[in-house]
C-alpha cells in the first residue's frame, strides 16, 4: 500500500492500471489467445483507428507514465527546453524518455531539428490517447484515495469569485449540516478554467455564470439574483430609492470587461434595448475591483445584488431593473460520466435548495 510519503512507482504499466477501456486489449486482462497479432486483431475497436493496434502488445505493457507525461509536455510546448522546465527536469533525460518511448512503440513521434519540433502523423494520433491515459490514471488515483479516506467520499468544488458574496457561504453551510460525512475542497477558478478542470477530473462540480458546455458536461441553474446600482455616497442619484436605467444616460460608468463576459453581455444588451449610453470610463473583470473604483468616486456600476455584502466605504446600493426578466444567474456544472458516488448527493442538495 502506498503511503502519503512514498513516491509513486517509477514504472506503472498501462496494461495493469489506467489504459482507457476503449483501448484495453484482451492480452492485458489475461484472456488466452494464440499469437500476439491474433490477439491484437481480436481486440480492435471498430470505431478506433489508432496505430496502437499495430504495436506488439508486449511493448505496449512496457510504456511508463513518465514517458507518456514527457511526450505530452513536449507535444504541448513543441520545445524541449520549455517542456523540461515544465516537468522540473533537464533536457537530456527528457530527450532520453522520448527516445525510449519511440523505441518501445517502434514509431517516430516527433520530427526534431536544431530549430523546431513538430509532431509526426503517428505523434498526433498518439497524443490524443496519451492525454486520455494520464486523465484515467488521475481518476483512478483520486477514486482510490476517496475510498480509503472517507466512507462518504470526497468532492472538489470549483467556484467563481461572484459566489463568495452569498451563495457559496450558504451552500457550504448546508453541505456541512446535511452532508457531514463528505469531505469538501473548494477552489476558486474562472468559468473557463472550471470547464478544463472538469474535463481533467480536477474538480467534480463547478459554480459558474451561464456558459456554453459540451457533452459530457451538464449545466443547470441553481441560483438567480436581481441587480443593484452601486454609486458613491455623495452622488445625486444616491437620494433616489429606485433609480431608473434612463438615469444612467451619459453618466460615468464602470463596465465589466471581456474577462467578465456574462455580466458584460447582460448589461450591454439592457443598455442597447433601452437606448441608454452611459460613459464607460473603466472596465474591470471582477465586482470587487469595480466597487473599489466606485468607492473612489470614478463612476457608477451595476452589479449582482448579493455583491452588496462586500464592505466598501463610500458606496451605496440601490435596486435597479434592467428588464422584466433580467437576472444574474449562477449555474452548477458537472460531468454526466463522473462516477464519484458523493456527487449525486451534492447535486440533489444544490437543486433541492436552489434559490
Which DSSP helix (H) or strand (E) runs through 122?
helix 121-149
Give 18's pLDDT tier (boundaries 50, 70, 90).
Answer: very low
pLDDT of residue 63: 80
d(CA 103, CA 123): 13
- Output the nine-digit C-alpha cell for 282: 473603466
The fraction of the chain above a pLDDT of 90, given in percent, is: 57
For residues 258 and 144, the model is more confident at: 258
pLDDT of residue 220: 93
- With a cut of 50, say whether residue 99 has pLDDT above it: yes
pLDDT of residue 15: 36
- 315-354 residue pLDDT tens: 999 999 888 888 999 999 999 999 998 999 999 998 876 6
Mean pLDDT of 276-281: 96
Contacts 24+ apart (CB under 8 A), 72-77: 72/127, 72/130, 72/131, 72/134, 74/98, 74/110, 74/117, 75/110, 75/119, 75/123, 75/127, 75/130
Which DSSP helix (H) or strand (E) runs through 74?
helix 65-77
Mean of pLDDT over the chain: 82
pLDDT of residue 72: 93
Q: How many other C-beta atoms can be found within 10 angstroms of the C-beta atom of residue 136?
A: 18
- 126-147 residue pLDDT tens: 998 899 888 888 888 877 766 6
pTM above 0.75, yes or no: no
For residues 18 and 112, the model is more confident at: 112
- 182-202 residue pLDDT tens: 989 999 999 999 999 999 999
pLDDT of residue 351: 85
CA atoms within a 13 Å half-sphere pointing along the CA-CB vector of 310: 26
pLDDT of residue 27: 35
* DSSP helix/strand/coil, 46: coil
Which residue, 125, 119, 124, 134, is CA-closest to 78? 119
- 286-316 residue pLDDT tens: 999 999 999 999 999 999 999 988 888 899 9
* DSSP helix/strand/coil, 256: strand
Mean pLDDT of 210-223: 92
Amino acid at each position: 500500500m502506498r503511503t502519503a510519503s512514498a513516491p509513486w512507482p517509477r514504472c506503472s504499466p498501462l496494461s495493469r492500471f489506467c489504459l482507457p477501456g476503449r483501448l484495453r486489449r484482451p492480452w492485458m486482462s489475461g484472456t488466452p489467445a494464440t499469437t500476439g497479432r491474433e490477439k491484437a486483431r481480436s481486440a480492435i475497436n471498430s470505431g478506433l483507428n489508432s496505430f496502437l493496434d499495430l504495436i506488439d502488445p508486449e511493448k505496449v505493457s512496457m510504456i511508463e507514465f513518465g514517458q507518456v507525461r514527457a511526450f505530452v509536455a513536449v507535444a504541448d510546448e513543441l520545445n524541449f527546453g520549455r517542456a523540461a522546465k515544465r516537468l522540473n527536469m533537464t533536457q537530456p533525460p527528457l530527450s532520453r524518455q522520448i527516445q525510449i518511448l519511440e523505441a518501445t512503440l517502434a514509431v517516430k513521434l516527433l520530427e526534431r531539428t536544431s530549430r523546431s519540433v513538430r509532431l509526426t502523423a503517428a505523434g498526433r494520433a498518439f497524443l490524443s490517447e496519451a492525454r486520455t491515459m494520464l486523465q484515467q490514471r488521475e481518476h483512478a488515483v483520486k477514486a482510490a484515495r476517496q475510498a480509503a479516506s472517507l466512507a462518504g467520499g470526497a468532492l472538489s468544488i470549483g467556484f467563481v469569485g461572484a459566489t463568495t458574496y452569498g451563495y457559496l457561504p450558504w451552500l457550504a453551510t448546508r453541505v456541512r449540516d446535511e452532508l457531514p460525512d463528505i469531505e469538501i475542497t473548494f477552489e476558486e477558478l474562472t468559468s473557463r478554467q472550471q470547464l478544463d478542470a472538469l474535463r481533467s477530473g480536477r474538480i467534480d462540480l463547478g459554480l459558474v455564470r451561464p456558459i456554453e458546455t459540451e457533452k459530457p458536461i451538464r449545466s443547470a441553474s441553481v441560483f438567480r439574483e436581481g441587480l443593484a446600482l452601486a454609486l458613491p455616497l455623495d452622488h445625486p442619484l444616491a437620494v433616489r430609492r429606485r433609480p431608473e436605467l434612463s438615469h444612467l444616460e451619459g453618466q460615468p460608468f464602470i463596465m465589466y470587461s471581456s474577462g467578465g463576459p456574462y455580466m458584460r453581455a447582460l448589461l450591454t444588451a439592457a443598455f442597447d434595448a433601452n437606448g441608454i449610453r452611459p460613459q464607460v470610463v473603466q472596465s474591470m473583470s471582477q465586482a470587487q475591483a469595480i466597487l473599489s473604483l466606485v468607492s473612489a468616486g470614478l463612476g457608477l456600476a451595476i452589479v449582482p445584488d448579493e455583491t452588496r455584502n462586500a464592505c466598501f466605504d463610500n458606496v451605496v446600493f440601490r435596486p435597479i431593473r434592467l428588464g422584466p426578466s433580467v437576472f444574474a444567474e449562477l449555474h452548477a456544472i458537472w460531468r454526466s460520466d463522473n462516477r464519484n458516488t458523493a456527487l449525486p448527493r451534492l447535486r440533489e442538495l444544490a437543486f433541492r435548495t436552489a434559490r
